[in-house]
Each structure stands twice: as structure tokens, then as C-alpha cells.
Amino acid sequence: MADPLSTTFAALADPTRRAILARLSSGDATVGELAEPFAMSLPAISKHLTVLERAGLVTKSRDGQRRHCRISVAPLQDATSWLELYRRHWEEQFDSLGEYLATIHEPPRGGRPDPTQEKS
């Protein structure tokens, strides 16, 4: 059994499922409303919704024969928190690289002139 974060990222790996989540971010929708922009059958959309539901990204409720879908933000918040750790790490790495690059491009202090620099 995969951990919740792996399940979330696996569900987000598909562009159709990301588009469904993008639509649900603006409000609840029925399965039929979610299927409208896609050139696929209702059963195919339902399979995508099942993957999203298993990942905890979508919840469904019934109102008569209509099934309403709602986005669930908790798994997205967990994924964002995990990604944030790496964003900070890489920003620090890029800052260090920037500082290093600035030092190697500075003219030498009080020493001999840099022979790689042309005289004008």
C-alpha cells in the first residue's frame, strides 16, 4: 500500500485529473458538469474521479440521481508542505551559487592584475 503523499502525486500525474481539480477549485460540480469539457465518456470521467477520491482529493455526495463532487484540500496541503521543504533548500543553494559567482567575477584586491582581462 502506497503512502498518502505517493497516492496524491500519482493522482496529480494525469492532466485530466489536474483539470478536474482546477474546475472543482472554483466550486462543486456534478459528474456530468465535470465531463463536459472532455472528449471522453462518463465512465472514463468516473474512473478519474475514483482515483482522485481514493487519493482523498475529491469527495462525492448524492442528491437523488446526481452525484456532486467537491475538492478536498488536505492532501494538497500535505503535498505543498512537502514541496516547500525542497523549495527552500533549492533557494538556499541558488543563493549560495549566486554569492560564489559574484566572488569569482570580482577583480583581485591589491594583487596582480588578472591576466585574462584585456587592456583597453
pLDDT digits 0-9 by tens, 68-106: 999 999 999 999 999 998 888 788 887 788 788 888 876
The CA distance from 40 to 67, in Å, is 18
Q: Write out the three cell numbers for 91.
A: 533557494
Domain covering 4-72 in this structure, CATH number:
1.10.10.10
pLDDT above 70: residue 119: no
Model confidence band, residue 114 (pLDDT cutoffs 50, 70, 90): low
Task: Say how far apart CA 82 and CA 75 lie, in whole Å.
Answer: 11
- Residue 78's pLDDT is 94
**What 3-state DSSP class applies to 89?**
helix
The residue count for the chain: 120
Confidence of residue 11 (pLDDT cuts 50, 70, 90): very high
Arithmetic mean of pLDDT over the chain: 87
